[in-house]
Amino acid sequence: MTLLVTGATGFVMSVLVRHWLEAHPTERLVALDAAPMDQAAQRYFAPVADRITTVIADITQPDSWRSALDAHTITYIVHGATVTPIARGTIADSKREPECDAPARIIDVNVMGTVAVLEWARSLRSLRRFVYVSSGSVYKHHGPDRPGEPLPEDGYVMPRRLYGISKLASELITERYGDLFGFSAASVRLSSVYGPMDRPTASRNFHHVPNRVAHKALEGAAVIRVNTLDGVGDYIQAEDVASGIARLLKAPMLHFCTYNIAAGETATVGQIADWAAERVPGFHAEVVPPEHADIVQDATLTGGMWGAYDISRITADTGWKPRPTREGFLAYMDWLSDKREKAK
């Protein structure tokens, strides 16, 4: 059996690639990406590289990859290729609208790239399941109706930016293709992901709060400057995302078309800084004016896409549960520390 992963050498998908091959030692994987593997990906994939076939091609140009994929008996597909035009976290970032740079490219890759893969996938007799990788960016900034509850998949969807709009459109297209052509299809909405292999790539150059705090602490800084200790997020470690997607691929039956993959709980920037101090004693967060902060958050954003996500669907269908947020964060710090030691 062979898994196809698009966007395979990027951040989250690269973690899925390694997780899948380590969890299924007799299976193979085809990695489709527009960019060749960088050195980080080559090192990360080294333990499983003998079972990876790499195809370098633009997802929006099916003539450049279709024949290469036809040579494999693809049984599962995870479509993760995307353009993520997100820039926020400092005052300078907040003044820039990254979607202005190439709005048509966002739609072309994120929507028409999905259509291209689905068009090819619908003819596969061997296909068992198609998973589209979406985002919590499809949600509103508020909800649910009863504050304090995690945000469910049904309702509260109203994207305002091209990224979220393209993700929601592709969710609906994926669902319709599955209905029309009789294959099992689902979308996963990820909350704020950080973890191993979180690095700048051609399609993504943004780091969530846990990444930035962990790097700051391990670089030897005594303090990280923030405008508030109370800004929150549902932060999920990439290794937990990978295990959740793998569970969905192998589940005997899926009862829903969309699934949140998230921690299911929020953490504040103050908490994350305190956890970092467990590995780097003395490290702490200091509140400063926004114009001097390393991290700028709006502490009033506590619901909708910014709050905790309901993960009961994926738990019910697969038994998957993520590690507690603190545990996942400390595991990431340990991974970074080990990586630094090996680089010496």
Does 138 have pLDDT greater than 60?
yes
Q: What is the pLDDT of residue 343?
A: 78
pLDDT tens-digit map of 157-190: 999 999 999 999 999 999 999 999 999 999 999 9
Average pLDDT, the chain: 94
Q: What is the pLDDT of residue 98?
A: 76
Does 1 have pLDDT greater than 90?
no
pLDDT tens-digit map of 262-273: 999 999 999 999
* Total Cβ atoms within 10 A of residue 215: 16
Does 95 have pLDDT greater than 70?
no
What distance in Å separates the CA atoms of residue 170 and residue 247, rounded to the nearest whole number? 22
Residue 131 in 3-state DSSP? strand
pTM for this entry: 0.95
Average pLDDT over residues 140-152: 91
pLDDT tens-digit map of 25-77: 999 999 999 999 999 999 999 999 999 999 999 999 999 999 999 999 999 99
Q: What is the pLDDT of residue 100?
A: 84
For 108, counting Cβ atoms within 10 Å of its Cβ (0-12 exposed, 13-18 middle, 19+ buried), the class is: middle
pLDDT tens-digit map of 272-281: 999 999 999 9
Q: What is the pLDDT of residue 89?
A: 45
CATH placement of domain 2-203+236-264+304-322: 3.40.50.720
What distance in Å separates the CA atoms of residue 258 and residue 266, rounded to the nearest whole number? 21
Please, are residues 269 and 209 in contact by the beta-carbon 8 Å criterion? yes
User: On the CB side of 173, how many CA atoms lie within 13 Å of its CA?
Assistant: 21
Q: What is the pLDDT of residue 204?
A: 72
Query: What b/e sequence results for 70-88 when a residue is b if at least 16 CB atoms lie within 10 Å of its CB, and e otherwise?
Result: eebebbbbbbbbbbbbbbe
Does 324 have pLDDT greater than 50?
yes
Q: What is the pLDDT of residue 311?
A: 98
Q: Longest C-alpha distance within the chain, in Å?
A: 59
For 11, counting Cβ atoms within 10 Å of its Cβ (0-12 exposed, 13-18 middle, 19+ buried), the class is: buried
Please, are residues 134 and 262 in contact by the beta-carbon 8 Å criterion? no
Residue 135: strand pairing partners: 190
Does 106 have pLDDT greater than 80?
yes
What distance in Å separates the CA atoms of residue 243 and residue 286, rounded to the nearest whole number? 35
- Range of lowest pLDDT (78-92, 117-131, 216-230): 78-92
Distances in Å between the alpha carbon of 97 and those of 70, 137, 161, 162, 300? Answer: 39, 16, 10, 11, 21
Average pLDDT over residues 299-328: 97
